[in-house]
Amino acid sequence: MNKYLNHNHKRNDSKKNDETMIFGLRPVIEMLKSGKEIDKLMVQQGLTGETYGELRKILKDKNIACQYVPIEKLNRLTNKNHQGVIGYLAAITYQTIEEVVPFLFEKGKNPIILVLDRITDVRNFGAITRTAECAGVDCIVIPDKGAAQVNSDAIKTSAGALLKVPVCRVSNLRTTLEYLKKSGLQIVACSEKADKLFDEVEYIKPTVVILGSEEDGVSHELLKLSDNFVKIPLFGEIASLNVSVAAGVLLYEVIKQRKK
């Protein structure tokens, strides 16, 4: 086994042991060159050198996001010689939205696409994916920064749905929504500030549903691109629903309307 593969790193980052960590400049570079999906990449702040320059060029050419972190964080993840770079292999194979959408239309689908804006909790993400699969969602879109890690926890919480529903990880949600609008999909954002209730909008046509974080909701720049804003009425004293529950309410309203 490659000495740079560490399956039993410390648990203080709350990762599962069966996730694959790859560390060291050359192993990470070769992993990226091989075309393998990478879920998360952390690079030491202020790292320099010729080999790091090669890594940086690959990241730029392949448009791969990374996090620049203090060396102390990397040291907490492994006591091996990480050389300032740690990456995690992705647990799934990501799709590209530009390939998924034409394929759906060619198959005669009436697409339902779910966009998750800054959903960072792994268990919420897994639960949303499980509901989405049950509701027949055709694709889930997440940003490559500020999103829950697609790891073994997420797959377990999704009851395996993450292995069934296409997931597209994109560098810019705004650009992706613009593409989806040009492709003929309406954009419906769930926002507590909306005037319309979730069942007052028609979902018969191809539809994108956007859900935002429980703390901040859907970001303003994405709301500006939306065709409709909807809210779920609340009758108790708690200010909001769990986002995975909100996903179920909205998606099954789509199913309800399309069955009529």
In the predicted structure, residue 3 carries a pLDDT above the cut 60: no
| Average pLDDT of the segment spanning 98-113 | 96
In the predicted structure, residue 241 carries a pLDDT above the cut 90: no
Strand-pair category, 21-23 with 85-89: antiparallel
Ranges 191-195, 244-248, 250-254: which has the least confidence: 191-195
Of 137, 142, 106, which is closest to residue 254 (Cα–Cα)?
137
pLDDT band for 19, please (50, 70, 90 cuts).
Answer: low
Q: Output the average pLDDT for the chain.
A: 89
In the predicted structure, residue 214 carries a pLDDT above the cut 60: yes
Class of domain 97-259: alpha beta
| Average pLDDT of the segment spanning 50-66 | 91
In the predicted structure, residue 11 carries a pLDDT above the cut 50: no
Count of Cβ atoms closer than 10 Å to residue 186 Cβ: 18
* 70 or 6, higher pLDDT: 70
The span from the CA of 49 to the CA of 60, in Å, is 17
User: CB under 8 Å to 183, separation ≥6 — which residues?
Assistant: 101, 105, 206
Of 41, 91, 88, which is closest to residue 65 (Cα–Cα)?
41
| Average pLDDT of the segment spanning 240-244 | 89
| Average pLDDT of the segment spanning 64-76 | 92
| Average pLDDT of the segment spanning 122-135 | 95
| Average pLDDT of the segment spanning 19-48 | 88
| Average pLDDT of the segment spanning 109-120 | 96
Of 138, 137, 147, 136, which is closest to residue 170 (Cα–Cα)?
147
pTM: 0.79
| Average pLDDT of the segment spanning 79-101 | 92
In the predicted structure, residue 106 carries a pLDDT above the cut 80: yes
Q: Where are the domains of the chain?
A: 5-89, 97-259
For the stretch 163-203, pLDDT in tens is: 999 999 999 999 999 999 999 999 999 988 888 999 999 99
Kindly give the interhelix angle for 122-134 and 243-259, rounded to the nearest 10 degrees.
10
pLDDT band for 65, please (50, 70, 90 cuts).
Answer: confident
Six token digits for residue 67: 């996090």
Contact 14, 82 (CB under 8 A): no
Q: What is the DSSP letter of 91?
A: S
Class of domain 5-89: alpha beta
In the predicted structure, residue 124 carries a pLDDT above the cut 50: yes
Helices (H), the chain: 25-33, 50-61, 71-77, 97-106, 122-134, 152-157, 173-182, 220-223, 243-259
| Average pLDDT of the segment spanning 202-212 | 97
pLDDT band for 145, please (50, 70, 90 cuts).
Answer: confident
What pLDDT, on the 0 to 100 scale, is given for residue 39? 81
The span from the CA of 32 to the CA of 56, in Å, is 11
The span from the CA of 185 to the CA of 56, in Å, is 36
